[in-house]
Every structure is written in C-alpha cells, then in structure tokens.
C-alpha cells in the first residue's frame, strides 16, 4: 500500500469504531458456552428450590343463580341490563356488595379464619384446616383490637408436655415468650391480650412442629378479597361464577358457602327493612286513629241518648243518603289529602335519606314512593362497602334528591286535582244540605258526627289492609342467591413449576450474557483480525499468536524453530515483501499507540526472520525515553543511538553489537536516556546515522516510541520506508486506532500497515470464527501448514528460509 484512502477512513471506519459487533458478540457467547451451561444449571437449581418453598395454591369454583325477584333492590339480571343500556354505577356495585368488607369480616368471625395453622416442613410449611391438634384462642375484644400478628411455634416433647415459643410485636417492639415443657391448656399474657393454648378435642396428638398464627380480622378479610373473583356468566346474566384461590380446598369450600349464606341473609334484611319501617308507621297511626274513632263513637252514643233519636222520615233518609254519598267522597278525598300532607312533611323535613310509608291510594305516587325506597336501600348497601366521598355514592344521593323533588311536585299536582274535585263535591253536598235545611238541627248534628265517624273508619280500614299486606310481604321473603354448582377444588394452580424454571433458566443465561456484553461495552477491545478489520481501513499484514511457552522468551524464532508463532512471523515477513511494489522496504519502523502492545517484541523477531534468510539485518532501539531493546537481548544500555546522536561517538560501527542468536543480526541499543530526546531525533546526526546504516545493512528495523504517548516517532517517520503499527489482542482499545487514524489524516505516514499481536488462537471465539483454520497449531509432531514439522532440522530450515526470501 502506497497511499490510504483518507475519505474512506473518515466516512466508514470512524463510524465502525463506534459500531457494535453483533456477530463477534454471538461468537463470544458461543465461546463461553460452558459459563452459560453452568449458570443455567445453577439458576435451575435455585428456581427449583424457590418452587419447593412456595405453598401450593388450589382453586375452588362454584356458580350461583340470582333470581329475578321484583322485590329485590338490585340483582345480577337488572345489573347486566343496565350495564348494557345505561351503564349505571348501581350495577357495578352488586358484585362488590357480594364480597364487601363487612361480609368477609363476618365470614372470618364465623369460620374462625383469624387463626391459621400449618405443620413446619423442611422447605415449606403445610397448611391444615379443621384438623389442628392444638388450638389458639383470644377473647373477642382482644381479637377485635389486634394490630399485629401473633405467631406461635408448638412442639410436643413428651406425652403431655410441649415447648412453645410465641412472638408478637406491640408498639414497634418485639415481644417473645418461651414456655418449655408446659402442659395444656395454658394462658399466656401478652401485651395485646391473653392467649389461650389448648388441645383440640378429638383431633389426636401433635406430631411434628405446629406453626400457629393469629391475624387481624381485617387483614384476613383483605387476603380473602384479593383471592376471591366474581364474574357474570357470558351466556346467562343471572348466573355468577365464583372462583377462590386458597392453599386448602376445604377452607375454600367453607368460605364460598358462607359467602352465599351471608349474602342471602343480607338481601332478606334489605327486603324487610322497608316493610318494617312502614309497619311501624302504620301501627302508630292505627293506635291514634283507633282512639279518635272511639271518641267519635262515644260522642254519637251520647248524642243519640241526649236527643232520643231512633229514626227519621223517608224523605230525610233519601236526602240524607245523597248527602252521605257526597260526604263519603269528601271523606275519602280528605283522607288522601291528610296522607299526602303526612308524606310531604316527611319528605320536606328529612335531613337524611330514609324509606317513606307507601300507604297512599294514588297509584302513581305509590309507585314513586316504592321506587324511592328501593334507591334508599341501594344507597345504604352501597355505603356498607364504600365511603361517602365515593363518586358513585354522590351520584346516587343526587338521584334521590331529584326523586324527592319529583315526588313533592307530583304530591302538589295531585293535591291540586283533589282540591278541585273536593270543591265540586262540596257544591253538591251544599245543595243537598240545603234540601235538609228544613230538618231539625238535631238531625244536622247527628249527620256531622256520622261524617266524622266515616272518615275515621275509612282511614282505620285502609291502615289495617296495608298492615296485612306488609306482614304477607315479610313472610314471603326468600333467598335471592341459589347455589347451582357446588364448590369444587382443582389444582394446584400455583406455583407454575415450568414457568418458574423457565424464568430461572432465562435469568441464568442472561447473567453471563450481560457480563460479556458489559465487558465489551466497558472495555472496547478486539480479539482477532476479523474484529480489527471492522474498525479500520488500514491494511492488516497479519496476526501474531501467543507463544504458548511457559517461559517468557523474547526471541521466539530461530533456525530450528517451527512453532506456530515462528511460522506467523515468517508469514509476516513474506507479506511485507509483497508490499514493495517496485520499491524496496529497507527501513521498517515499528510503533504502537501505547506501551505494552508488543512493538519491541515484534521488531526483534521480525528482524530475526530477515537474519535467518541470510540478510544483514539491524534492529535499532529508538524508544529513547523508555529503552527496552537492550533488555530483550540482555545487553548493556550504557552506549547506543543517543551516544551517536548527541555527538559523543562519531563512529556508528563501534556502537553496533552482533547478536549471539544469529551472525546476520545486529543490534543498536537506545543508549542512555537523554534529557532532550526530541532535539536529538531532530538533529542532523539522525539523518546521517540512517544514511550510513542504509548503506551497510540489507534491512533495518526501528523500534520507536508509542504514538499515543510522545511525539518522538513522528520525528523519525521520514527515515523509514514502511511503518508497522502494532496492536495487541484483548489489550488494545479502539482509542488506539483513533491515534493511528488521526496521524493518517495528517499525512504523517507514508506507508503504514497494522500487525495484530498476542492473538489467542486456542480461545473458543477464535476457533468458532476461523472454523478451525489454526487448529493444527500446538501439537508436537503435527504438520503446521507451512511445510514445517516439529522434527525439522536446522540445516533444512535454514535453506528453506533462504528459498522463502
């Protein structure tokens, strides 16, 4: 290569430096498959252990039918229809009422679910229900005020003796009681109350260790609520499906049955609540009307006795009959008006929403009162499971206020109609009364008493009829919810073993994958030539593998050496020869980005490859700030290149040292560290020295300073024909390539190539990437692919070196 395409370097490779090698990452994963296997197996073991510690959860299912009862305030059928039509908030509360907090707390109390028991196991505890040999009890007041759970561990140590350990928390402090070898029953005084521990009658002896817990009623109710699922059947809106997740099937069945029983009792109470209030109102009115009617009858009796009234004339009877008919109508209207007044007074003066008596003869007003009472009941049921601030409650109260306004409006309009009708009937009554004006005043007084008596009788009869209707309604109240599918258990539905194991396996595989990915992101290094080629457009002459020797050797190539690394150095020498293109690469400069990448190692062994071909070769140490060449050849660094450059020595030949490894190899060490290295390299002596050395040697290899640390190398680039930039696998980073690219952009290199040093050809990622290209390396007696074997003799090897050149 004579020139490098700078535009291509700018546009393509700079972006590649920031790119991500997906294929390299996948090959890295494949190379570390053992880590994936180990982490996956460990994760599966932990997942199985975690699965073994989880108590299995079973599912209890049932189905209930909600009858379409007109007296019921709201059921699943009306709820479903309203959901479809109006989507009223009342419908959304029905299922919540079925599993309301008050209902669940009553279920907890009735089944003693605040107490839980389990046998202690190696990995997990085994819950028991209804067959616990030892039971815990607290008084109702202490249980109601329980704030934090109480746990007891009970173990039988003798025929009738037990070791008991009780742990509770009160006021933020831990309270612990230990009873050794005690007999049952026993009472333990705790800060939260007295705990009674006794044997369960008929449950047998305790075997093993029993773990007993007492939890607050509300916390248990919350747990039941979170595990209880209700849904309306899609095919029949009157059927509600119940599903409950529980660690004990029998406990789940009891909870479902208790839930249905309590719901039915609650519905019956709701149905009868309005009837009871109306009945109480009617009984009060009956007592009052009965007293008034008795007073009227006594007055009538006294009036007859006083005036000795027995019978009236036929004409008087006929007129009286007409008048009585009108009076009866007026009496009925007056009774209705009085009842309307009473209801209007209750509606107007009520500060809260309560049911109204429905004892009115007007059918429209009676229907409105019944509808109003149903909404009041629904509001009361809603408040049992919600707060007054609930938007649904506020909406219902607004609807009730609107119904009050409509009811008052209808009462006013009905009173107006009745008043008009009464006026008409009163006119007729006055006419009839005029006809009776000729009758004695005694008869008139008698009729007034009769009239008052008739009013009282009509009211009394009406109230008696309503009382009987309400009594019949209370008698006919039936259950709304009917069980059509008995509770059955299935499962276990949790934990899902396959899912837990799969998640554990995925996590186990993600751990090494994440570690490898983070390592590549945090430490952006490359491993082999293929990865390096993605990051730069500078040609790569070759890659040098690790020596594989347990001893650290500085010179790895020789006449009788045919190791893989020696063959790669020969290949590098040949590749350099292919870059000549008509011009001789006599002076080769070797540099790197930072120290530690192996530039001195490459320079020394590359020089040896030329010496093995019979060429007179010189390796110069011009890393004069940190000289390493003398150390590599175990030589003194007292005299060297800096001695000549500083003018202390004028004969360069006196500074040249012939290598003991090969007579064709000469070394010029760096010499003492000078205080002014830049000035020495810029002096005329530098060019003069290189001119003399060019005339005397076939090849000159310069070991220069790193580019990314000091600027010394840039001062001697003009003295070289070819430059080799050394990078090291698993060490050099992409930042080092930026140093090279920046120098190329500034036209500081004339002909530069890259050599990748320290490649681990035995690593898994390298083998997978190369598909076994170098798998023949590393075994004694095998052919290495270049015509050499481990049994080759020095003479033949030397002749082959010359032929290769």
Q: What is the dihedral of CA 469, 474, 479, 480, to 10 degrees?
A: 50
pLDDT band at 440 (very low <50, low <70, confident <90, very high): low
Summarised one tens digit per residue, pLDDT across range 741-756 is 888 888 888 889 999 8
Q: What 3-state class would DSSP assign to 597?
A: coil
Task: In whole angstroms, give the CA distance from residue 413 to residue 428.
Answer: 23
Q: What is the mean pLDDT of residues 324-347?
A: 78
Region at 574 (left for phi over 0; alpha for psi -120 to 50; beta for the rest): alpha
pLDDT(647) > 80: yes
Summarised one tens digit per residue, pLDDT across range 62-89 is 988 876 554 444 444 444 444 334 333 3
Residue 326: the pLDDT is 77
Comparing 13 with 575, the larger pLDDT belongs to 575
Rounded to the nearest 5°, which phi and psi values hold at 493? -95, -15
Comparing 584 with 133, the larger pLDDT belongs to 133
Lowest model confidence (mean pLDDT) among 157-171, 353-367, 579-593:
353-367
Cα distances (angstroms) measured from residue 137 to each of 146, 219, 284? 13, 17, 47
pLDDT band at 263 (very low <50, low <70, confident <90, very high): confident
Residue 303: the pLDDT is 75
Return the H-helix or E-strand segment holding 246. Answer: strand 239-246
Task: In whole angstroms, give the CA distance from residue 610 to residue 699.
Answer: 7
Q: What is the mean pLDDT of residues 227-242?
A: 82
pLDDT above 70: percentage of residues in the chain? 80
Q: What is the mean pLDDT of residues 191-201?
A: 88
Q: What is the mean pLDDT of residues 454-483?
A: 77
Q: Which residue has the tokens 């050599």?
A: 755
Q: What is the mean pLDDT of residues 427-436?
A: 70
pLDDT(678) > 50: yes
Instruction: Copy the structure tokens of residue 562.
Output: 């045919």
Q: What is the mean pLDDT of residues 27-37?
A: 80
pLDDT band at 2 (very low <50, low <70, confident <90, very high): very low
Summarised one tens digit per residue, pLDDT across range 682-729 is 889 999 999 999 999 999 999 998 987 788 888 888 888 899 999 888
The closest alpha carbon to 588, from 751, 364, 796, 360, belongs to: 751
Residue 436: the pLDDT is 60
Residue 516: the pLDDT is 76
pLDDT above 90: percentage of residues in the chain? 11
Comparing 256 with 485, the larger pLDDT belongs to 256
Instruction: Give the max Cα distance, the chain.
Output: 176
Q: Are 764 and 32 in contact (CB under 8 A)?
A: yes
Pairing of strands 665-668, 617-621: parallel
Residue 477: the pLDDT is 61
Lowest model confidence (mean pLDDT) among 345-349, 525-529, 606-610:
525-529
Residue 443: the pLDDT is 67
What is the overall mean pLDDT for the chain? Answer: 78
Q: Sign of dihedral through CA atoms 659, 662, 666, 669?
A: negative
Task: In whole angstroms, give the CA distance from residue 764 to residue 770.
Answer: 10
pLDDT(762) > 70: no
Task: In whole angstroms, give the CA distance from residue 358 to residue 378.
Answer: 18
Does the pTM exceed 0.95?
no
């Amino acid at each position: 290569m004579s020139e490098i395409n700078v535009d291509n370097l700018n546009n393509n490779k700079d972006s590649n430096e920031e790119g991500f090698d997906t294929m390299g990452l996948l090959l890295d994963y494949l190379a570390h498959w053992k880590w994936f296997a180990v982490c996956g197996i460990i994760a599966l073991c932990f997942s199985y252990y975690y699965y073994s510690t989880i108590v299995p959860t079973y599912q209890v299912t049932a189905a209930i039918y909600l009858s379409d009862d007109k007296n019921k305030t709201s059921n699943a059928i009306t709820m479903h229809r309203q959901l479809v039509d109006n989507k009223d908030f009342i419908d959304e509360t029905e299922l919540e009422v079925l599993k309301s907090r008050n209902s669940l707390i009553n279920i907890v109390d009735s089944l003693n679910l605040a107490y839980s028991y389990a046998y202690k196991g190696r990995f997990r505890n085994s819950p028991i229900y209804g067959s616990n040999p030892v039971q815990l009890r607290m008084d109702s007041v202490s249980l109601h005020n329980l704030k934090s759970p109480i746990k007891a561990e009970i173990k039988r140590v003798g025929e009738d003796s037990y070791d008991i350990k009780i742990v509770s928390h009160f006021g933020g402090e831990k309270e612990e009681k230990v009873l050794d070898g005690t007999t049952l029953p026993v009472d333990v005084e705790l800060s939260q109350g007295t705990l009674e521990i006794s044997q369960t009658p008929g449950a047998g002896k305790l075997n093993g260790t029993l773990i007993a817990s007492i939890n607050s009623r509300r916390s248990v109710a919350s747990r039941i609520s979170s595990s209880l699922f209700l849904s309306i059947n899609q095919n029949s809106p009157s059927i509600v499906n119940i599903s409950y997740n529980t660690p004990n099937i029998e406990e789940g069945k009891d909870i479902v049955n208790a839930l249905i029983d309590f719901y039915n009792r609650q519905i019956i109470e709701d149905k009868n609540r309005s009837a009871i209030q109306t009945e109480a109102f009617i009984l009060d009115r009956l007592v009052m009307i009965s007293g008034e009617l008795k007073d009227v009858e006594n007055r009538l009796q006294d009036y007859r006795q006083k005036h000795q009234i027995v019978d009236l004339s036929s004409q008087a009877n006929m007129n009286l009959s007409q008048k009585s008919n009108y009076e009866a109508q007026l009496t009925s209207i007056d009774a209705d008006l009085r009842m309307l007044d009473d209801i209007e007074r209750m509606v107007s003066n009520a500060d809260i929403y309560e049911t109204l008596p429905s004892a009115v003869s007007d059918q429209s007003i009676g229907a409105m009162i019944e509808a109003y009472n149903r909404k009041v009941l629904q509001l009361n049921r809603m408040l049992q499971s919600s707060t007054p601030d609930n938007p649904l409650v506020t909406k219902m109260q607004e609807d009730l206020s609107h119904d009050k306004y409509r009811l008052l409006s209808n009462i006013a309009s009905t009173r107006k109609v009745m008043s008009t009708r009464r006026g008409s009937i009163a006119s007729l009554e006055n006419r009839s009364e005029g006809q009776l004006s000729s009758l004695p005043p005694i008869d008139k007084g008698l009729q007034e008493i009769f009239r008052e008596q008739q009013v009282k009788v009509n009211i009394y009869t009406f109230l008696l009829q309503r009382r009987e209707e309400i009594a019949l309604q209370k008698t006919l109240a039936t259950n709304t919810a009917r069980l059509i599918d008995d509770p059955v258990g299935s499962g276990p539905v949790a934990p899902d073993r396959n899912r837990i194991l799969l998640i554990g396996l995925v996590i186990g595989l993600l751990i090494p994958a994440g570690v490898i990915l983070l390592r590549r992101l945090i430490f952006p290094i490359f491993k082999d030539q293929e990865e390096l080629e993605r990051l730069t457009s500078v040609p790569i002459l070759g890659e040098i593998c690790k020596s594989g020797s347990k001893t650290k050797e500085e010179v790895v190539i020789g006449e009788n050496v045919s190791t893989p690394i020696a063959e790669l150095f020969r290949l590098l020498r040949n590749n350099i020869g292919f870059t000549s293109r008509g011009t001789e690469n006599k002076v080769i400069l070797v540099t790197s980005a930072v120290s530690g990448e192996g530039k001195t190692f490459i320079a020394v062994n590359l020089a040896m490859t030329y010496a093995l071909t019979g060429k007179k070769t010189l390796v110069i140490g011009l890393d004069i700030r940190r000289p390493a060449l003398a150390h590599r050849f175990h030589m003194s660094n007292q005299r060297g290149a800096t001695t000549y450059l500083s003018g202390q020595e004028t004969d360069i030949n006196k500074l040249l040292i012939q290598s003991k490894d090969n007579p064709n190899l000469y070394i010029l060490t760096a010499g003492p560290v000078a205080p002014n290295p830049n000035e020495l390299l810029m002096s005329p002596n530098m060019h003069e020295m290189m001119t003399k050395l060019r005339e005397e040697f076939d090849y000159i290899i310069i070991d220069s300073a790193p580019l990314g640390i000091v600027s010394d190398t840039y001062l001697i680039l003009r003295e070289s024909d070819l430059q080799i930039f050394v990078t090291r696998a698993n060490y050099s980073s992409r930042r080092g390539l930026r140093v090279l690219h920046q120098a190329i952009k500034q036209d500081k290199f004339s002909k530069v190539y890259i050599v990748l040093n320290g490649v681990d050809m035995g690593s898994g990622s390298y083998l997978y990437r190369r598909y076994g290209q170098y798998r023949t390396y590393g075994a004694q007696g095998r052919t290495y692919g270049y015509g050499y074997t481990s049994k080759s003799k020095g003479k033949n090897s030397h002749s082959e070196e010359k032929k290769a050149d």
